[in-house]
Structure 1
Amino acid sequence: MRSNSLTGAYVLIAVGTYFLLQKQGWLPNIRPLVTEWWPAVLIVIGVGMIVQRRSRG
C-alpha cells in the first residue's frame, strides 16, 4: 500500500519537472500531442487498473 501512496507524489514531481524544463526551452512542447491523444491515455490507464486488479486476485 505504501508504494501506491508514493506513486502520486512521483507523478507530480515528474509532471512538474517536465513543465519546468519545457518552460525553460530545454524540452519540446508536447501540448498539441496531449490535446490530441488525452482520451487514449485515459483508456490505457483504465485498462492498466483493471489488469492490475485482476492479477491480484
Structure 2
Amino acid sequence: MGSNIFAALVLIVLGLFFLARNLGWIDSGLGSLLATWWPVVLVAVGVGMLLRRK
C-alpha cells in the first residue's frame, strides 16, 4: 500500500509540474527546478512512511 501512495504522489507532483509549465508559471528548465525543489521528494517520502505505519 505504501508504494501505491508514493506512486500517486509522484504522479501528482509531475502533473502539477507540467500544468505549471503549460500555464507559464515556471520558466526555468527541469534541471534548475529539480535543483531548487529536491527537498519536496524527501517530504513526500516521509509522508508516505508515516501513512504506511497506520
TM-score by length of 1: 0.46
TM-score by length of 2: 0.48
